[in-house]
Every structure is written in C-alpha cells, then in structure tokens.
Amino acid sequence: MGSTRFPGKVLKPVAGKPLLWHIVHRLRQCALVEEIAVATSTNPRDDAIVEWGAGEGIMVVRGPEDDVLARYARAAEALDADIIVRVSSDAPFIDAGFVDHLVATLIEQDGDYVLMQEGIACAHEGADPFSRRALDKLMMDAGSDPAAREHVTGYFKLHPDFVKIVRATPYPGLTRKGGRLTIDTPDDLAFVEAVHARMSAKAGEASLADLLLLLEREPELARINGHVRQKPIIPSGGLALIRCDGGGKFGYGHVKRMVSLARALRDRESIGAVFAVNGTTDALAPIRRAGFEAQLLSSEEHLNELVARLAPQILLLDCREGPGRAALEALAHDVAITAVIDDGSERRLAADFAYYPPVPQVHALEWTGARTVPRIGWQWSLTGLNPHLTPARALATRPTLLVAMGGSDPFGLTVRAAQALTGIDPAWRVRFVIGAGMRDGAANAAAIVALSDRYETVEHADDLALEYAHADLGLCAFGVTAYEMAAFGVPALYLGLTEDHCQSARAFDEAGMGQLLGLSADVKSEDLAKAVGQLIQDAPRRRQMRKVGLSLIDGEGAARIAADLAQALKEEQAPRSAGQEKLKTFP
C-alpha cells in the first residue's frame, strides 16, 4: 500500500475488483501452483491487505517493508515450498498457462531460474519461477544486495552465473512485445481500465493474448501510458517530499506546477512524491486526483516530522511562506538533495538547486557564499500541464479569447473583464475560466453568460490544455497560466496582481510573448477593452507572439528539472553505496 509512485495501488479497483483480486484469480487457474501467499510488510497501512486476504482465504505473510527478499524467505518457509513463483502485485494480466509453462521448464531441466530463449520476444511479465535452493543462496550470499532485496529474481538477471538458469521455449500467443502491462502509476491504471472497456471484459475475463491482438489493431491505446518508464532492476528511484503553498490566499499555481513536476519524477525517473501543503484543504484535491499522497501542514515543525518519518531523498520547496535559511540548512542534513522553485527568499541559499525563468528579479539575486546551483532560463519554466494528455494545437471554428484569472481570483478580475469586454468584435467568442476556488463561482458564471451571447464559461477544469489548444488570444492574471499560454503559442495580455508579478510579466512582454497591461488595480476597464480590441485586430502581432512563446517555453521544464534532480541524486548516492562518507558535490 506504500508504493511511492502510486500509493494504495494493489487495492485500486480494476473493472470493479481490486488489483490483487485479478492476480490471485488468475493464479488459481494454474495447474502447477498449489499454494498462493501475499508477502506484504509490517507497516500498519498494509493491515488493509491482511484484511483483504482474510476475506479471500489467501495466506498473508508479513515482513520488513524495505526487504522483499526477506518476505519471500518467510513465505517459502511458511508454505514449505520447493519452487517459488515470484509474482508482481501490479501485473493484472498474469496468464496461468504461461506460468505453468515456466514452472514445467524449471522442473524438467532441473534449473534454479528460468528465462525465455534468447532472442524470443515475450509479452508476459510479472512472473518468475525459481528454486528453493536459489532462494536460500540469495539469502546467504546476496541478502544485503539492493537488487536482491528489492527485486529478488532481478539479481539472477544481473548475475547470470549465480545459479543455474534454464531457458523456456516460446509460448503460443505471447511471442510478441506487449508494452506496459503493469500498474505503477495512475496512467497505467487508466490504460488497464480502457482496454477492459474496449474488450467489454468483466473482471478477470480479459486474456493477455486477446489484449495483444487488440493493441496491434488499435496501437493508440498504448499511448495512454506509453510515457511511463519501467523501474530499473538496480534501484535508482527514491522519494521526494514536496512542500508547497496552495488554496486560499495562495491560489493554485504552486500546486499545479508541482503536480506537473511530481508526475515527471514519478513517470520518467521512478521517484515517488508526497505533498505537504501549506494552505487550505481544497488544494489537496488536484494532488490526490493525480495519484499522490497529500496532507496539510499544521506548522513548520510538522515538516520536520515528515522528513524524519518519511526519510525522503529529495526535499522540494515551492512556497512564499516556509522554512527560513537556517531551518532549511538543518533539514538538508537529513536529505540527499534540496531544491527550490522560483524562490527569491534567503532560504534559496541553503538549497542544493534553485530553478528560475529569466525574469528581472532573478538576475538581481545575490549568490555570494552559497553552495546553491542556480538554474536560470526559459527552459526551466514550470507549467501545470500534464504533457501526456496535452492535445495538439487546434484551429477553432470561431476566433476565441480565453480569460483566465487564476483558480481563486481574489480580486474579482473575471467578472470585471466580462463587464469590460461586452463590446468585443462580434466575430469572436469569449470563454471565461471559473476557478475551483473562486468565491461564488456558480453565481459569477451565471452573471457572466447573461452579459453577452458570445460569453461562455469553463468550470471544474484541472487542466486547461484543451482550452489553450483552441484559443487565439489570452487575457490572464500573471502566474502559471501565462507560462502555459506561451507553451501553447497563445498570445496574451497580462494583469499583475502584485508589483512582483508585473516585473515577471515585463520579461514576457520584452521577449515578445505577450503584453503587460499593468497592475490590475490600476488598469481601467476601458483601457483593458481597448488593449484587447487592438490585439484582436492585429493578426501579424499575434502571430509573432505565438512564434516567440513556442520558441522560448516548450512545456518540458518539469521533465528537465526531474532529470536534473534524478542525476544529482544518482551522483549523491553513488559514494554512499560504496560505503563512503556523504559529500555533496554538484557541477
């Protein structure tokens, strides 16, 4: 239940039944498997698995959370097993006949571990038979090896001379590549649900052979989770604790962009993420929908407690309020990597990495005496978009102006803009985003559409990618939305909620991605309407803004930061894995 990439995944429903049910249901059809046991941990959160096993009549064996090998040894001892089949708890398409084929091969050739014949493609994954003597040797000779402890049979693949490996002949129907068929992330679960629906299959009915034929006919289905990288045999992942502000007075920009970064860490780098949010409860909803654990912080001491309890390898901060420099320096002793996002406070000087777009405030920052590595450039810009669900740029049937004033819009700019734009060019339609945290959102939406038959509202949207794809012009309160519009090539006009926002927006204006109208409190309604009208009439200028936005912000900032942090973590962990003292040295 404590999966770092997808908490609670083993009991997530698939076609109406828990993931574990699918695996056990299929294994019960094996002719050569006599006993089934679930080897889980002693962590209290895994009590749910024990309860599930009791209801299904399945033996549950518990052991150390960080030592899968030890749990297998306990299960083998409890069942007095001669042959063990390691079955992943995240592979719902286990084929009983294939498992029997592997077990029979192991017995017939008196082997210790079985693989398919070299050069033979096989779509099946998640099942590895091996002998009891191979397990005993693992425990005695490799019990402290990270690959053996976490992946068990993965050690045999890394050390092919360790035990006697035998080869199985091709198995009919599965001699082809299968893509990602395990569930490690929410996108994997979405894929599995999609193929069940496409095959009109009830729980336990979808055969792997039929699924492979479906994917050959409809390869676009594999794109749902094709971006997710398989966790490597040699452990290289970890856990990131993300401390951000969200909801209430903070809005949702910090949350949106950190969810995007958390996705990149999880899906691309096999690094899980847990969120600690300073703000209000509503900010937790989009985090949890993306498949991450999240909780509100009660105090900064609470953050210290989370670091001590979760032992993350990475601590990421995206916040206006939060620990000071001294507090972050203290926290840095307990984590391998610390990083801050768009942070102008003194705490940045205690971080290992700091990431910024090239806005004026950043160029004025002083770094004397800091060990921080600052990464400054448009390529490090973070958006809140899910890149795997981002549609291509589309041509709307009618020119469209998108008005997006933030998730909470504390200054009522959405309604104000609607009132100011009633005289807009009749050829254009205007779509107003009603944020999840907007006070009286439903009433405001009704009032807006009553002002003009060209007005439409967008409500309950976590991701505005589809809106950006159809927008020809944007009007927004400067923030994460400005970066997202630029990434889609949407020319935009910006209102700054603060002087700091105006400074950042000025960099966009000077680069040619959009136009700064000024501090929102100082911009008159008639000036706003005039500026929008002029840009609507100036198609060449809009095309140039689009070109610049696409050239400077490509939407890959989250992937770059994730890769940068993963590489730093890998380098940081390397000396410690050799028994050397921890020493932070970054380029």
Q: Which residues contact 509 (CB under 8 A, 6 or more apart)?
A: 494, 515, 516
Res 582: pLDDT: 47
At residue 63, φ and ψ (nearest 5 deg) are: -160, -165
**Measured CA angle at 457 (ends 451, 460), to 5 deg:** 145
Res 580: pLDDT: 47
Q: pLDDT 10s digit of each residue in the chain, 587 long?
A: 888 778 889 999 999 999 999 999 999 999 999 999 999 999 988 999 999 999 999 999 999 988 999 999 999 999 999 999 999 999 899 999 999 999 999 999 999 999 999 888 888 888 999 999 999 999 999 998 888 888 899 899 889 999 999 999 999 889 887 778 889 888 888 999 999 999 999 998 888 989 988 988 998 888 888 878 766 555 556 899 999 999 888 888 999 999 999 999 988 888 989 999 999 999 999 998 888 899 999 988 999 999 999 999 999 999 998 899 999 999 999 999 999 999 999 999 999 999 999 999 999 999 998 989 999 999 999 998 876 655 555 555 689 999 999 888 989 999 999 999 999 899 999 999 998 888 899 999 999 999 999 999 999 887 888 899 999 999 999 999 999 999 999 999 999 999 999 999 999 999 999 999 999 999 999 999 999 999 999 999 999 999 999 999 999 999 999 999 999 998 887 755 444 444 454 44
3-class DSSP state for residue 365?
Answer: coil
Amino acid at 221: L
Q: Are 372 and 349 in contact (CB under 8 A)?
A: yes
3-class DSSP state for residue 315?
Answer: strand
* Radius of gyration, CA atoms only, the chain: 27
Structural tokens at position 46: 């895994």
Q: Are 312 and 335 in contact (CB under 8 A)?
A: yes
Q: Are 324 and 467 in contact (CB under 8 A)?
A: no
Q: How far apart are CA 92 and CA 204, in angstroms?
A: 9
Q: How far apart are CA 404 and CA 103, in angstroms?
A: 59
Structural tokens at position 433: 């985003």
Q: How far apart are CA 96 and CA 85, in angstroms?
A: 12
Structural tokens at position 173: 């129907």
Q: How far apart are CA 22 and CA 183, in angstroms?
A: 12
DSSP state for residue 347 in the 8-state scheme = G
Q: Please state, as a whole number, how many other Cβ atoms lie within 10 Å of the Cβ of residue 83.
A: 20
3-class DSSP state for residue 208?
Answer: helix
Residue with tokens 């970064």: 261
Q: Are 493 and 532 in contact (CB under 8 A)?
A: yes
Q: Are 462 and 432 in contact (CB under 8 A)?
A: no
3-class DSSP state for residue 107?
Answer: helix
Q: Please state, as a whole number, how many other Cβ atoms lie within 10 Å of the Cβ of residue 175.
A: 15
Name which of 469, 453, 475, 451 is nearest 402 in CA terms. 475
Residue with tokens 């019960």: 28
Q: Please state, as a whole number, how many other Cβ atoms lie within 10 Å of the Cβ of residue 205.
A: 12
3-class DSSP state for residue 310?
Answer: helix
489 Rama class: left (phi>0) / alpha (psi -120 to 50) / beta: left
Amino acid at 203: A
> What are the chain's domains?
9-176 (3.90.550.10), 238-383+562-577 (3.40.50.11190), 389-552 (3.40.50.2000)
Res 578: pLDDT: 44
H/E run at residue 72: helix 68-79
Q: How far apart are CA 408 and CA 156, in angstroms?
A: 54
